[in-house]
Chain A
Amino acid sequence: MNNQPSSKKFLAWFNPLGRQPGSWAFILSRITALGLTFYLFLHLVVLGRLAQGPQAYQEFLALAESPIVKLGELAVIAAVIYHGLNGIRIILTSFGIGVAHQQRLFYASVALALAGTVFFGIRLFGG
């Protein structure tokens, strides 16, 4: 019979239609988590290149100036701030602290993540 719980339904996690802010927080945490894991992998690859000597590192620095990479770094910044703050929200609520304010805490995490993104965006791309 269908309509049963199934591990394949994890994709349903990413469907925010008709859902509450708590679900959005849940979804964004997972997406940022996946994103940051991928970033960590990339970071290790880069460090690997460092180990190959100054020539390889210079090549990397040249690449790092390109707008696409900078955009990627901005995405990482947004993800880190959001994921970190929402993580704190989850830690707090998990201990029964601030449960009544969980939606506000989520909005605050998003707002701070956006603010941080704008700030670092200006620094990365501005003169």
Chain B
Amino acid sequence: MTEKWNITLRIYRQKTGELPHFDDFAMEVDPNEYVLDAIERVWAFHDRSLCFRHACHHSTCGACGMRINGVEKLTCITVIRDVTHNGATLKVEPLRNFPVVSDLAVDMGVFYRKMEMVGARAVLPVTEAEIEHPPATWQPEDARYIRLSDCLECGLCISACPVAATTIEYLGPAPLAAAQDVGLRRSPELLTIIDSEDGLWRCHSAFECTAVCPSFVDPGRRIMNLRKQAIGLKLTKLFGKPGVPQP
């Protein structure tokens, strides 16, 4: 016997040339299902004009990022029970700091250009996926295996970052985290891209990015680590011997 809740989805709507507004949809939901399921049902059965992005439904594509009650979430893995209660209103808005294409879909162009610019790795060796407590099941020879990188390029971190809110020039958590993953040891030329007033040093340690990342990237920690790498590289350049290749 599945539990049923009655909630209201209050969804942000914006069409070209019109002012944004919110539409309310009364929905019967199973509290154990995901927010994306409810949004999809709004589209399927109530309003076909609702524009939103979704693809994989299991946190690998990063398409379905939205703000739920003001907080950035990947809606395909956000259980309804965790964000609201029976009889409540669930506010659904697009991510912040990206131009709205329509309703809940935003323009990710600038963000993806930044990810390309830092050469973010889409696939990498399994053992290079930094996590603090690797599963006991991983063996040393697992370095041979390639896996998709943790970062889904979902944009939640950009939406949550207070600095990204004030300027589009700021590289942002995900691109900086990706630069850290590539590493200045592997790509010292990255230094010129990240070592700028809109790069590495613009972060003010709010750590919102780490808090909202649904995929264990921990951009805050990576940005701080990248600072360590950058300072190390600059000191080496300053004191290194001319003609000797720098790390």
* Secondary structure dominating the interface of B: loop
Q: Which of A17, A26, A103 is packed against the most chain B CB atoms within 10 Å?
A: A26
B193 on the A face (CB < 8 A): no
User: How many angstroms from the CA of A102 to the CA of B168 in the assembled complex?
Assistant: 26
**Which of B20, B71, B205, B225 contacts A22, CB < 8 Å?**
B205
Given contacts A10-B166, A96-B225, contact A3 B220 (CB under 8 A): no
Which one of A41-49, A87-95, A112-120 is at the B interface?
Answer: A87-95
Given contacts A6-B166, A13-B162, A96-B228, contact A26 B96 (CB under 8 A): no
Task: Contact check, B228 vs A17: say whether CB atoms are below 8 A apart.
Answer: no
- Number of contacting residues on A, CB 8 A? 30
- Number of contacting residues on B, CB 8 A? 34
A12 on the B face (CB < 8 A): yes
**Which of A3, A26, A96 contacts B94, CB < 8 Å?**
A3
Chain A residues near B98: list those with CB within 8 A. Answer: 3-4
Chain B residues near A94: list those with CB within 8 A. Answer: 205, 224, 227
Which residues of chain B have a CB within 8 Å of any CB of chain A? 20, 69-71, 94, 96-100, 106-107, 132, 162, 164-168, 170, 204-208, 210-211, 220-221, 224-225, 227-228, 231
In order of increasing CB-CB distance, the 8 nearest A-B pairs are A22-B207, A1-B99, A20-B211, A96-B228, A26-B206, A9-B165, A18-B70, A5-B168
